[in-house]
Amino acid sequence: MRVLLVVHQFFPHFTAGTEVLTWGVARELRSRGHTVRIVTGHPGRDELRESERWVRDEFDGFEVDRFHHAYVPMRGQRSMIEVGSDNVLAAHHFAGILAAFRPDRVHYFHLNRLGTGLILAAEAAGVRQSFTPTDFWTICTTAQLRLPDGQLCHGPSLHAGNCIKHFAQNPARAAGVRLVARALPTAWADALAPLARTQAAARLPFAAEVRALGERLPKTVSRLNRLQCILAPNAFMRAKLLEYGVRPERVVESAFGVDLPTIAPTREGRRPTDGPLRVGFIGTLGPHKGAHVLLSAFALLPRGACSLRIHGNPADFPDYVQELSALAAGLEDIVFAGTFPNHAIFDVMADLDVLVVPSLWYENTPLVVYSAQAAGTIVVASDHPGIAAVVRHEVDGLLFPSGDSAALAQQLRRLAADRELLARLAANVRPPRSTSDYVDDLLRFWVAL
């Protein structure tokens, strides 16, 4: 079988969970004799000509087509919302890739930068398609269902009025615009949004973006309903998709899989010690991942109770990393350990007693949780649906209210003081599904649908 995998960004420059999942599936499919090619987005320079935006290279023996995307007008599109979510140039070139590669299946892991127009191109080429949503991008322009003040968002309102307010509160906007957007009731924004579609409003500032925001969700949902199958990783994601109009028969639940260690973790190797509790954070060093919540909790712990290693790329959000450094100043036993190759994940986990996942958004079962469980490491995490579905509170891990540093500190204090609790939780950790299990699901649905 010839398979085309599509993702918003990819190795070697991007190594987060979605990229790891895509690469793992690609390798597993190849090991079973299938031919795999990867299409991906990539941040590109504004000044590139349209003919320069597609670049072909190779990674790990896979042919990779990269669309060097930028938020600038291209191929007649001037709305930056459309350039990111329904990119005409990307869809046009994708049609050429389909014609040349002639895949039997297209599977999407993420469509940011590329856009949902790829679905129409593949449908026109007669190729069957499926999708694994790894975040909430199909519903939310930020992909995180978070408001500008960091609070959780339930999703777009009637005419995406709350999304329009969110767009207007971007720090790049004038202070007056941001102030009005914060004060404007969402119901009023929903009432005003349809006016942006009128001819009289066409020349007003941001009219194109307001119109695009109002059209984004119904357009995306209509295209998702053209797919043969959507593999939602948990019940919360499935419920969100159905809430906004994705047809129930299109969506099945299938939890992610991860590469498992070649040697199963031993309980002997995790016998509690008398030293500091070894705590770790592994993930994107961005505000939504909540490393600052962990550092604030660490400051509340007795000196010497815990050590902390923070793994992440400091270049992704440099301003935020400066804030983290300021929070860590004066605290002992904290190391900013940078990144590591994906194959070293179990070596890193072996040096931890606890992995903390203090996410401030709903999450979608981060792969690092599964990797921790594969290594036999207990997880202390924010109590969000996607995480709580796999971390059993007081059974194989601990949960705390999202953003509550004091509650997180209390859970870490318990583990540091009660090594029998640590041992009991670790003994109950269940191994997750493997990448091979996940590919079994993919192939089964591809054949059945």
- Residue 449, pLDDT > 80, answer no
> Which of 439, 99, 406, 415 is CA-nearest to residue 272?
415
Strand partners, 354: 279, 378
**Predicted pLDDT at 198:** 66
**Predicted pLDDT at 299:** 96
pLDDT (average), residues 433-447: 95
- Residue 70, pLDDT > 80, answer yes
At residue 303, the 3 state secondary structure works out as coil
Q: What is the pLDDT of residues 371-407, one digit of tens each?
A: 999 999 999 999 999 999 999 999 999 999 999 999 9
Q: What is the pLDDT of residues 206-215, one digit of tens each?
A: 778 888 888 9
- Tokens 């999304």 label which residue? 163
Q: Can 2-132+437-448 and 268-427 be said to share one CATH topology?
A: yes
**Predicted pLDDT at 365:** 83
- Residue 268, pLDDT > 70, answer no
**Predicted pLDDT at 286:** 94
- Residue 195, pLDDT > 60, answer yes
The C-alpha atoms of residue 295 and residue 321 are separated, in whole angstroms, by 12
**Which fold is adopted by the domain 268-427?**
Rossmann fold (3.40.50)
The C-alpha atoms of residue 331 and residue 276 are separated, in whole angstroms, by 14
**Predicted pLDDT at 210:** 84
The percent of residues in the chain predicted with pLDDT above 90, rounded, is 78
**Predicted pLDDT at 269:** 45
User: Which residue did the predictor score with more confidence, 186 or 84?
Assistant: 84
The C-alpha atoms of residue 148 and residue 77 are separated, in whole angstroms, by 26
Mean pLDDT of the chain: 92
Q: What is the pLDDT of residues 277-330, one digit of tens each?
A: 999 999 999 999 999 999 999 999 999 999 999 999 999 899 999 999 999 998
The HSE-up count of residue 79 (CA atoms within 13 Å, CB side) is 20
User: Which residue did the predictor score with more confidence, 261 or 8?
Assistant: 8
pLDDT (average), residues 174-186: 73
Give the start-to-end residue ranges of the domains of the chain. 2-132+437-448, 268-427
Q: Write the CATH number of the domain with boundaries 2-132+437-448.
A: 3.40.50.2000
Q: What are phi and psi of 415, to 5 degrees?
A: -70, -40
Distances (CA, A) of 289 to 149, 376, 402, 422: 15, 22, 11, 24
Confidence of residue 272 (pLDDT cuts 50, 70, 90): low
> What distance lies between CA 16 and its chain's CA centroid?
8
Per-residue b or e along 37-51, where b marks 16 or more CB atoms closer than 10 Å to that residue's CB: bbbbbbebeeeeeee
The C-alpha atoms of residue 397 and residue 423 are separated, in whole angstroms, by 11
**Predicted pLDDT at 274:** 73
Query: With the CA atoms of 3, 115, 341 and 277 taken in that order, what torsion angle do they form, in degrees rounded to the nearest 10?
Result: -120
> What distance lies between CA 143 and its chain's CA centroid?
8
User: Which sign does the torsion angle of CA 177, 182, 184, 189 carry?
Assistant: positive
**Predicted pLDDT at 149:** 81
pLDDT (average), residues 3-7: 98
Least confident interval from 267-271, 299-303, 339-343: 267-271
Q: What are phi and psi of 110, to 5 degrees?
A: -165, 145
User: Which residue did the predictor score with more confidence, 191 or 203?
Assistant: 191
pLDDT (average), residues 11-25: 95
The C-alpha atoms of residue 240 and residue 166 are separated, in whole angstroms, by 20
- Residue 174, pLDDT > 80, answer no
Strand 354-357 versus strand 277-282 pairing type: parallel
